[in-house]
Chains A and B, each alone.
Chain A
Amino acid sequence: AQSVTQPDIHITVSEGASLELRCNYSYGATPYLFWYVQSPGQGLQLLLKYFSGDTLVQGIKGFEAEFKRSQSSFNLRKPSVHWSDAAEYFCAVGAWTGNQFYFGTGTSLTVIP
């Protein structure tokens, strides 16, 4: 069965600190993996995606993620968090198009000064 697990419901970090958000997935075929960010009252913005090639992918806003097939993980990282990064982050897995995405339950990020 297809599913995505984000084990951390809420994370608080200090501004300037590093960040890692965890994502584990289960998918029957070769997965396309995505990280989205949602600011309050807004839609989803794509941060980055992975479907083949280099397992370390770079995204917007200084984010990166590493695909580890052996661990079925696709963790999101940022070396130095900014206050504007406070938001909800969703990991998703799916086909490229023509099929639904499976989303994790999200990780809420709070950034303190």
Chain B
Amino acid sequence: NAGVMQNPRHLVRRRGQEARLRCSPMKGHSHVYWYRQLPEEGLKFMVYLQKENIIDESGMPKERFSAEFPKEGPSILRIQQVVRGDSAAYFCASSPPETADSNQPQHFGDGTRLSIL
């Protein structure tokens, strides 16, 4: 059973470009969470999605950032017109439906390291 898959592992963009980060949850998982890790900081929650729905986006910057989790395909975190301050590691986690048995609530991917030139 493959874990949470994130790609790319590393992404380099120039200021003003768009960054698209992908996350494929574990099989059977319908909940996806995105976190951002800035240097020397812990992980900060950004957004929580279920299939085709944004449940909680309280941690998302109001501008330039968006997320989706379509019925088919991976979850996408999109950053438009990137700036140097967007440089960070972005982690995706997934969890099963609340009624499912699980010994681990959120499974994390290996992250995407975004660097802005």
Which residues of A come within 8 Å of B, CB atoms? 4, 6, 9, 32, 36, 41-44, 46, 49, 90, 92, 94-106
CB distance from A106 to the nearest CB of B (A): 5
Write the chain B residue with the least CB distance to A32: B105
Chain B residues closer than 8 Å to A103, beta-carbon distance: 35, 42-44
Partner of A42, one of B31, B102, B110: B110
Q: Which of B40, B41, B56, B108 has a CB less than 8 Å from the CB of A100? A: B56
Q: How far is the CA of A41 from the CA of B56 in the complex (A)?
A: 28
Most buried by B among A94, A97, A103, A105: A97
Complex Cα distance, B113 from A18, in Å, reads: 33
What is the CA–CA distance of A46 and B109 in the complex, to the nearest angstrom?
Answer: 12
Contact B40 A105 (CB under 8 A): yes
Min Cβ gap B102→A in Å is 7
In the complex, residue of chain B having the shortest beta-carbon distance to the beta carbon of A108: B40
Nearest first, the 10 A-B pairs at minimum CB distance are A103-B42, A100-B45, A43-B110, A44-B108, A103-B43, A105-B42, A97-B95, A43-B108, A97-B105, A96-B105
Interface: B104 (CB within 8 A): yes
Assess the B31–A97 pair: CB atoms within 8 A.
yes
User: What 1/0 mask marks residues of chain B from 76 to 94 whose CB sits below 8 Å from any chain A CB?
Assistant: 0000000000000001010
Cβ of B41 to closest chain A Cβ, rounded Å: 6
Q: Considering only CB atoms and an 8 Å cut-off, how many residues of chain B contact the other chain? A: 28
Q: Please give me the residue from chain B that is nearest to A36 by CB atom.
A: B108
CA distance A96 to B104 in the complex (A): 8
Across the interface, do A100 and B48 meet the contact criterion of CB distance under 8 Å?
Answer: yes
Residues on B with C-beta less than 8 A from A32 are: 105
Contacts of A41 in B (CB 8 A): 113
Q: Quick check: B111 and A100 within 8 Å, CB to CB?
A: no
Q: In the complex, are the beta carbons of A43 and B42 less than 8 A apart?
A: no
The answer to whether A99 touches B48 (Cβ under 8 A) is: yes
Distance, CA A4 to CA B45, complexed state (A)? 13
**A43-B91, A90-B43, A103-B42 given as contacts; is B98 within 8 A of A98 (CB)?**
yes
